[in-house]
Amino acid sequence: MSIEKKFFGKLSDGREVTAFTMKAECGVSVTVMDLGATMVSLNVPDKNGELKDIVCGYDSPEEYIKNDGYTGATVGRYANRIDKGHFTLDGKDYEISKNEDGKRTLHGGFCGFDKKIWRSEAGQCGCGADRIKFYYTSEDGEEGFPGNVDVTVVYRLSADGELAIRYLAEADKMTPMALTNHSYFNLDGYEKQDISRQLLTINANRFMGIDDESISTEFFDVQDTPFDFRKEKQIGKALFTNYEHVMIPGGIDHSFDIDGTGGKMLWKHDIPLVKSVTMRSKETGIVMDIYTDAPAMQVYSGNHMGGVKYKGGVEAKKQGAICFEPGYFPNSPNRTDVPSCIFGPDRPYSSTTVYKFSVK
């Protein structure tokens, strides 16, 4: 195992951005940077033993700031949408940044965790796996949210190429929180920019609907809908239909209720995780299983992708890659029918997602 630390580039205000690459003996390697605690690349061996970089990213830090899309980033303080940029906690009303069309809060506000430079520390876990820890303190009132929050995000790569991301946070006041990673995956290699023929399993019986204002509505059963991914099928089968829930966002952009039907594992012997998603490419043979303890999985099929160039000048294409964002349901701070996203002095935040790779 080895960790390489490198200067990644400078922001327009002169601040330097550092990247770290962890390499496992099996060939898997991951590069992360302190800007946004972002995953920049993820190389995985295909069925011929050749490495494929399966996540989108940019060549310079400034492109991450300029371009929308939260590419590869850690998203917070609240990943997903909060309707009307408003919630009530303990009888007090909070107005938070309405950074989406001036109507609602998306992914933490105008300057969310994805745009911050995090403190970093590279090292090994007790078990010998490499890990990079990122720290960020979000101040009371940032984007309108209450309470100071100390956030830690840990990327950990084991010798057999299992990638884990742990999110830990402590808040000194009650506050909504949902932390996730916003990587765009394409198992043919990110440069291929087409996910329609790749295969997907989502272990969920229900998804949450949205209206044409992107406001979350109610849960729907996946049965008899294009969103029934309980058995493996091509992603394209859900993209090219007239189903109203596909028509609204122009593809998949919905939260699925991860219910444990996909099976369970104990990570590091004591953290219970469930298998939420499996993605597979017939072309490269790469299989990715995602395990998480988060209640919801936002699946976003890159419907707004395009108009930018990724690493090495690769042109971004609509639905060129897909995001799996483990976290809490949209608008959870204003709903009572979903798991609580309110954390505080008596309830520290802790969540883990594990990505496992194999070939078939």
Out of 107, 182, 245, 254, pick the active-site residue: 182
User: By CB under 6 A, is residue 324 in contact with ligand GAL?
Assistant: no
Question: Around Cβ 116, how many Cβ atoms within 10 Å?
Answer: 21
d(Cα 65, Cα 78) in Å, to the nearest integer?
19
Question: Candidates 17-25, 53-61, 66-74, 282-290 — which segment interacts with ligand GAL by CB under 6 A?
Answer: 66-74
Out of 142, 143, 162, 325, pick the active-site residue: 325
Q: How far is the CB of 52 from ligand GAL (least distance, A)?
A: 24
d(Cα 197, Cα 192) in Å, to the nearest integer?
12
Q: 153-171 burial, b for 16+ CB within 10 Å, e for fewer?
A: bbbbbbeebbbbbbbbbbb
Query: Which residue, 24 or 79, is less far from ligand GAL as judged by CB?
Result: 79
d(Cα 330, Cα 257) in Å, to the nearest integer?
11
Binding flags for ligand GAL, 283-322, as an x/- string (CB under 6 A): ---------------x-x---x------------------
Give the one residue of 96, 106, 208, 246 binding ligand GAL; rule: CB under 6 A: 106
Q: How far is the CB of 259 from ligand GAL (least distance, A)?
A: 20
User: By CB under 6 A, is residue 268 in contact with ligand GAL?
Assistant: no
Query: Which residue, 178 or 288, is less far from ligand GAL as judged by CB?
Result: 178
Query: Which residue, 33 or 323, is less far from ligand GAL as judged by CB?
Result: 323
Q: How far is the CB of 63 from ligand GAL (least distance, A)?
A: 15
Q: 241-277 burial, b for 16+ CB within 10 Å, e for fewer?
A: eeeebbebbebbbbbbbbeeebeeeebbeebebbbbb
Query: Which residue, 149 or 323, is less far from ligand GAL as judged by CB?
Result: 323
Q: Indicate if 325 belongs to the active site.
A: yes
Query: Which residue, 161 or 330, is less far from ligand GAL as judged by CB?
Result: 330
d(Cα 6, Cα 303) in Å, to the nearest integer?
33
- Give SS3 for 270: coil
Residue 7 burial by Cβ neighbours in a 10 Å radius (0-12, 13-18, 19+): exposed
Cis peptide before 77 (omega within 30 of 0): yes
Give the one residue of 24, 296, 325, 327 binding ligand GAL; rule: CB under 6 A: 325
Query: Which residue, 87 or 184, is less far from ligand GAL as judged by CB?
Result: 184
Question: Candidates 65-73, 163-171, 233-241, 277-285 — which segment interacts with ligand GAL by CB under 6 A?
Answer: 65-73
User: By CB under 6 A, is residue 253 in contact with ligand GAL?
Assistant: yes
Q: How far is CA 313 from CA 20, 60, 78, 308, in A?
A: 22, 12, 31, 9
Total chain residues near ligand GAL (CB under 6 A): 10
Give the one residue of 8, 58, 70, 184 binding ligand GAL; rule: CB under 6 A: 70
Q: Where are the beta strands (DSSP E) in 24-75?
A: 29-33, 38-45, 51-53, 74-75
Q: Indicate if 139 belongs to the active site.
A: no
Q: How far is the CB of 326 from ligand GAL (least distance, A)?
A: 12
Query: Which residue, 173 or 335, is less far from ligand GAL as judged by CB?
Result: 335
Alpha helices in the chain (DSSP H): 61-66, 236-239, 244-247
Nearest in space to 178 (alpha carbons), one of 54, 331, 319, 286:
331
Gyration radius of the chain over CA positions: 19
Sheet containing 16-23: give its strands across.
Answer: 2-10, 16-23, 29-33, 38-45, 51-53
For binding to ligand GAL (CB under 6 A), which residues are involved? Answer: 68-70, 106, 253, 298, 300, 304, 323, 325
Residues annotated as catalytic (active site), given as ranges? 182, 325
